[in-house]
Amino acid sequence: MEGIMANVGKVAAVEDIYSFTRTGMVQDSHSRMDTSVSTTTSHTGGYNSRATTNTSVSSTEMLRIFVRQDGDKGEFEAEFADPAFGVREGHHVTVVYAGDQASQAGYPMALVNHSTERHQIFAKRTEWIINRTNQWMGCLTLIGLPLIVALLFMAMTPDLFVIGFVMGLIGTGIWMFGWKRKNDALAAAIVDVLNQHVREATEAQTKAG
């Protein structure tokens, strides 16, 4: 029995991707709005400087469904953000999960509503299982590694500090760009896997129907 969001790990390569589906009849569904507020403050220069505060509000619709799995295999639930279509009691749906091979568990990343013939891939969720470098760590790496290289160069010849820093900066930039490209390709591969499951679920429903 595949796990759902239980200790889901990260994937580093395509062969690490683990995916599975659950299909059944919706017993209940709930929608709610999650609202987040962010505030930024900017200061104008000069003697009589003023602080300007900008507040932005964003809302996300969260859909939670409770499903009785086909084959009398019990019930499961899944939650999705900003779905493009509705789901209600009595609809027949398939939820596609993706995670890592090690944990044999996954997050819900695609939803198929067989009753209305609609489906959606929640591609942003692929980031949940990809080991991206966070913003602060990326900044520290971009500054720290070139500085280390520069200090090593300076230890040999003081005049080489700037050259060492530039070379370290270029090398770090190339490495970070390669890491990003690798993760972007991995995210695309996960989406391909999700699309394959969606097609298979749709075809199976058509044949059964």
Domains of the chain by residue range? 3-131
Residue 161 CA to residue 152 CA, distance in Å, equals 8
Residue 110 CA to residue 193 CA, distance in Å, equals 10
Residue 199 CA to residue 184 CA, distance in Å, equals 23
Tally the C-alpha atoms within 13 A of residue 54's C-alpha that lie toward its C-beta: 4
Q: What is the pTM of this model?
A: 0.74
Per-residue pLDDT of the chain (209 residues; tens, 9 = 90+): 455 666 899 999 999 999 999 999 999 999 998 887 777 766 665 555 566 777 778 889 999 999 999 998 899 999 999 999 999 999 999 999 999 999 999 999 999 999 999 999 999 999 999 987 555 655 555 555 655 655 565 666 666 666 556 656 666 666 667 778 899 999 999 999 999 999 999 998 888 76
What is the per-residue pLDDT for 192? 97
Main-chain dihedrals φ then ψ at residue 105, nearest 5 degrees:
-140, 165
Residue 12 CA to residue 4 CA, distance in Å, equals 20
Domain 3-131 class in CATH: mainly beta
Angstrom CA distances, 43 to 39, 50, 57, 118, stand at 14, 6, 21, 48
